[in-house]
Amino acid sequence: MKVLFSLLAVIVLILVAIMGAYTTSLHYTFGIIIPYLALTLFVGGFIYRVVKWGRSPVPFRIPTTIGQQKSLPWIKQNKIENPTSTLGVIVRMALEILFFRSLFRNTKTELSQGPKGPILAYGSAKWLWLGSLFFHWSFLIILIRHLRYFLDPIPFSIQILESIDGILQIGLPAVYLTDAFFLIAVTYLFLRRIFIPQLKYISLAADFFPLFLIMSIASTGVLMRYFYKVDLVAVKQLAIGLATFQPVLPSGIGAMFFVHIFLVSSLFAYFPLSKLMHMGGIFMSPTRNMISNNRMVRHINPWNQEVKYHTYEQYEDEYRDKMKKAGIPVEKE
């Protein structure tokens, strides 16, 4: 049901895109207005979400660690997994962001029937980590490769990236490795939500929708590159026009381009509303980005109430006369 709903939503988007692509009078809307709207929503929404997160208080140190804490001098500290310096935190964050360190520690739990009753077994589960790594890195490389439509002249580094990506030299234009990796990885990420019962149970429409949307973007990109070709010179003029805020709409681009860019715009507009915000969120995860100095430094809750003290001396000053009269001993005469 949740799968069907997401699939239908994406199909509707694709139909809208196709309608726009085949209606020449709508090309300005689909090629220029909608991308600008989407970009505005993306940047505005992204900043809004991050600032909103930033405003929520972080009272205590809550790092989760998997390494030896700094302790007695003869006990070796794990400086990266349990950092007490900023550098350590930076390394930990870098490992998390670039190589998904936490996901690497993913485990699976299995209950099986042994000869002497049920056996509970824990094992490492690296497939999700591998799939995610391929997915995210391919996505990043594909994104960077797209800069060739936005930069003129094209920097050498992007040309290098492109030639490495097309190193197999299969077909004309050459097949990109990342395209294949990306499609395989996103299919895996989808199938895993369908075939693992526990995962299927907790998956929501908000999990399937981005997957379908990303799949449709990748597929239209592949179709556009290898099958329904478009005029890339015109595409680049449009892209640079968008980037420099002097939009132009060259004629004869080809329908597939408008389908592709509409789906990309949908993703950008949807981004800040969705779980995809983990792109910004990962930088703000308090269990990862804090120095583990819980015991070395006293951390005071920032919203603690100011406590009013009334010391014994003040008390005695106030009641000295009465105390003396009642015969209670006082410290100061």
Partner 1 sequence: MYKGGKIIASLIIFVGLLTIPFFYNMGKVNAGPEINLDTPAILALAPADQQCVESPEVMKANHMQLLNQWREAAVRDGQSVYINSQGKSFEISLQNTCLNCHSTEAEKASVTGGMSNPAFGSTQFCASCHDYNAVQPLCYTCHIGSKEAAK
What's the length of the chain?
A: 333
Amino acid at 89: V
- 191-207 in b/e form (b: 16+ CB < 10 A) is eebeeeeeeeeebeeeb
Question: Given candidates 80, 95, 232, 291, which one binds partner 1 under the rule CB under 8 A?
Answer: 232
The verdict on 293 binding partner 1 (CB under 8 A) reads no
The answer to whether residues 322 and 98 touch, using CB atoms and an 8 Å cutoff, is: no
CB atoms closer than 10 angstroms to residue 258: 25
Contact of residue 225 among ligand HEC, partner 1, none (CB under 5-8 Å per partner type): ligand HEC
The verdict on 172 binding ligand HEC (CB under 6 A) reads yes
The verdict on 300 binding ligand HEC (CB under 6 A) reads no
Contact of residue 316 among ligand HEC, partner 1, none (CB under 5-8 Å per partner type): none
C-alpha to C-alpha distance for 154 and 164, rounded to whole angstroms: 16
| Positions 256 through 285 that interact with partner 1 (CB under 8 A) | 280, 283-284
Strand partners, 118: 113
C-alpha to C-alpha distance for 155 and 201, rounded to whole angstroms: 47
| Positions 255 through 294 that interact with ligand HEC (CB under 6 A) | none
The answer to whether residues 105 and 66 touch, using CB atoms and an 8 Å cutoff, is: yes
Which token pair is 303? Answer: 């919203």
Task: State in angstroms the smallest separation of the CB of 262 from ligand HEC.
Answer: 20
Question: Given candidates 225, 238, 258, 271, which one binds ligand HEC under the rule CB under 6 A?
Answer: 225
Closer to partner 1 at the Cβ: 173 or 324? Answer: 173
The answer to whether residues 186 and 135 touch, using CB atoms and an 8 Å cutoff, is: yes
| Positions 56 through 115 that interact with partner 1 (CB under 8 A) | 56-58
The verdict on 37 binding partner 1 (CB under 8 A) reads no
Radius of gyration, alpha carbons of the chain: 29
The verdict on 297 binding ligand HEC (CB under 6 A) reads no
End-to-end alpha carbon distance in the chain: 84
The verdict on 173 binding ligand HEC (CB under 6 A) reads yes
Task: State in angstroms the smallest separation of the CB of 179 from partner 1.
Answer: 16
Which residue's entry shows tokens 């920032």?
A: 302
Binding-site ranges for ligand HEC (CB under 6 A): 172-174, 225, 232-233
Binding residues for partner 1, per CB under 8 A? 43, 46-47, 50-51, 54-58, 147-154, 158-159, 162-163, 169, 171-173, 229-234, 236-237, 239-241, 243-246, 248, 250, 252, 254, 280, 283-284, 302
